[in-house]
Structure 1
């Protein structure tokens, strides 16, 4: 459990903060629940992946730097592949279907922008992390996160 908290905690915190900030700024500009939920969705994804991208980049830099100084292009390429393997399928379902419905529904059901977004986010996160954890475990067991034999 400690591993998962260390891995996903920081990007979740940043993603949640950016989500709530964007939603509240947008709520000051419009009363459209759809626009508020979409701005929250996009800002949360940007905040999450900014931190998650740096996490995976550091992991790959260390892995590829064991023998020699790694090439930047190699590390960026490997980071992109690892992020796609870990989150690609999950994000497709989450970002395009599940999360927008849950964020929008949370705002409508609770009647408060921040409370509704947080409730919708928590519900979506539970589903998201079950799938992401399985993807991370599979890619780790298949050796995708290590340097291939040379």
Structure 2
């Protein structure tokens, strides 16, 4: 189990750190430009965090696939990119739909109000939403590894 936890931390931790920064920046920018736009700030924080998170993971997946294919003397093609994208959709699709369309924006809207702290509420919302996000995401990741992430075939 320790090995699995290390693997998940290697996969998700840096993406999560980037996502936290982007979530705070996205929501903070909206609040700076339009102070009473809590809903817009919640949506901006959600989507900024998603771009940072999934951009980093896709970049990591592409880099790993390129390295694997290069070692076999094969090129990285559009089909390879499609396979990387499909693997991300399988890994995150169900978790991400619920997370981005309902859970995370709702928490990013309400927790800053309830806590009385914009930054504290955003961080609390981010971490609370991550709990409901990672359980299905990790299960999907484990199920997709052999079929969609094996570029050795």
TM norm. shorter chain > 0.5: yes
Match of 2:46 among 41, 47, 53: 41
Q: Which SS does the other structure have where 2:149 is aligned? A: coil
The answer to whether structure 1 residue 18 and structure 2 residue 22 are counterparts is: yes
Partner of 2:82: 77
Partner of 2:63: 58
Partner of 1:28: 32
Q: Tell me how far 1:62 sits from its aligned partner.
A: 2.9
Q: TM-score, normalised by structure 1?
A: 0.90
The answer to whether structure 1 residue 120 and structure 2 residue 120 are counterparts is: no
Q: Which SS does the other structure have where 1:65 is aligned? A: helix
Q: Which runs of 5+ in 1 are unaligned?
A: none
For the Cα contact (< 8 Å) 2:68–2:152, is it kept in 1? no
> How many correspondences in the alignment?
148
> 1: distance between equivalents of 2:71 and 2:148?
16
For the Cα contact (< 8 Å) 2:84–2:148, is it kept in 1? no
Q: TM-score, normalised by structure 2?
A: 0.89
Partner of 1:5: 9
Alpha carbon RMSD of aligned pairs, Å? 1.5
Partner of 1:146: 150
Query: Using a 3 Å threshold, how does the CA distance of structure 1 residues 4 and 71 change in structure 2: closer, same or farther?
Result: closer
Query: Structure 1 residues 16-25 or 54-63, which shifts more?
Result: 54-63
1:70-97 deviations in whole A, cap 9, x for unaligned?
2331321111111111111111111111
The answer to whether structure 1 residue 129 and structure 2 residue 134 are counterparts is: yes
Displaced runs of 4 or more, over 6 A: none
